[in-house]
Amino acid sequence: MPTPSSPSQNHLLAALPTADFEPLAAHLERVHLPLGEMLYEPGGQMRHAYFPTTAIVSLHYVMADGASAESAGVGNEGVVGISLFMGGDTTSSSAVVQTAGDAYRLERGRLLQEFQRGGLMQRLLLRYTQALMTQMSHTATCNRHHSVEQQLCRWLLLTLDRMASNELVMTQELIASMLGVRREGITEAAGRLQRAGFISYRRGHIAVLDRAGLETRVCECYEVVKKELSRLLSDVRYRQDTA
């Protein structure tokens, strides 16, 4: 197993062959991301890309009245800061740490240099961007057409996929803010899941007791997002040093 401080915990970095990774490694800076830290603000200058290892970052939009909703989450499967290599230095969304942990950040000039060289790094970043766009589109559809309970199950399962633990440090208020729903709706949905024995909830902590149970309640959006990421990276070989 990779150590907590290893870049190989990030799937994109782990997919680079040694010959491509070693020149990049010297420019990767390990950083700890505390819960709630703002990595990007709307319209702000983006200076780094972040490759999470144990942290999870929420991409969301905040309206003029303060209301907000998450458009996607990024964990060890991806990178935060796709605007840097997609032609822009700013973004209209915010990037906030949802789950505290570590990440490796790369200065934007070095990221652009690696991207413009072409090769596997460019292909990985573009494929991941397609997967992220799928996640964003299904998040919007899910928020419009599926129940709060289904949305909560989707969010919990996607979060679990990025974690080594089955316990989340997360308040109902924060989940409601990310899903763009009322806190009372999250309370009711979490209560039903707890009574079914799928989760255990105490203030600020959610433990998933029965993942298979959550999968019986979730909408199809979760599986579509998961399968698209798997499909796009299905031919990737990981470096032997990840063991």
Q: Is residue 2 scored above 50 in pLDDT?
A: no
Q: What is the pLDDT of residue 242?
A: 44
Per-residue model confidence as pLDDT tens digits over 115-143: 998 888 999 999 999 999 999 888 888 88
Nearest-CA neighbor of 76 among 26, 6, 25? 6
Residue type at position 11: H
For position 154, which CATH number holds?
1.10.10.10
Q: What is the pLDDT of residue 4?
A: 55
Give the least confident one: 53-67, 102-116, 214-228.
53-67
Residues 211, 93 share a domain: no
CA distances 2 to 53, 139, 191, 242, Å, are: 10, 31, 36, 6
Longest distance between any two alpha carbons in the chain, whole Å: 54
Q: Which of 143, 173, 206 delimits the end of a domain?
A: 143
Is 223 within a domain? no
Q: Is residue 239 scored above 70 in pLDDT?
A: no
DSSP 143-199: HHHS-HHHHHHHHHHHHHTT-SSSEEE--HHHHHHHHTS-HHHHHHHHHHHHHTTSE
Q: Is residue 243 scored above 70 in pLDDT?
A: no
Residue predicted with more confidence, 240 or 234: 234
DSSP structural state of residue 30: E
Is 37 within a domain? yes
Residues 106, 151 share a domain: no
Give the least confident one: 150-154, 203-207, 211-215.
203-207
> Percent of the chain scored above 90 by pLDDT?
50
Is 225 within a domain? no
For position 128, which CATH number holds?
2.60.120.10
Question: Please, which pLDDT band fits residue 193 given cuts at 50, 70 and 90?
Answer: very high
Mean pLDDT of the region 78-106: 88
CA dist., res. 59 & res. 40, Å (int)? 9
Residues 127, 33 share a domain: yes
Is 231 within a domain? no
Residues 159, 108 share a domain: no
Q: What is the pLDDT of residue 68?
A: 73
Residues 109, 209 share a domain: no
Is 240 within a domain? no
Nearest-CA neighbor of 73 among 52, 89, 87, 90? 52
Q: What is the pLDDT of residue 240?
A: 56
Q: How many domains does the chain divide into?
A: 2
Give the phi and the psi of residue 95 in degrees, each rounded to 5.
-125, 115
Q: What is the pLDDT of residue 50?
A: 97
CB 167 within 8 A of CB 209: no
CA dihedral 143, 180, 157, 186 (to 10 degrees): -110
Q: What is the pLDDT of residue 125?
A: 94
Range of the domain at 134: 7-143
Residue type at position 204: G
CA dist., res. 60 & res. 73, Å (int)? 9
CA dihedral 100, 137, 158, 63 (to 10 degrees): 40
Please count the residues of the chain: 243
Give the phi and the psi of residue 208 in degrees, each rounded to 5.
-85, 115
Mean pLDDT of the region 79-95: 84
Give the least confident one: 58-67, 130-139, 223-232.
58-67
3-state DSSP assignment of residue 177: helix
Q: What is the pLDDT of residue 202?
A: 84
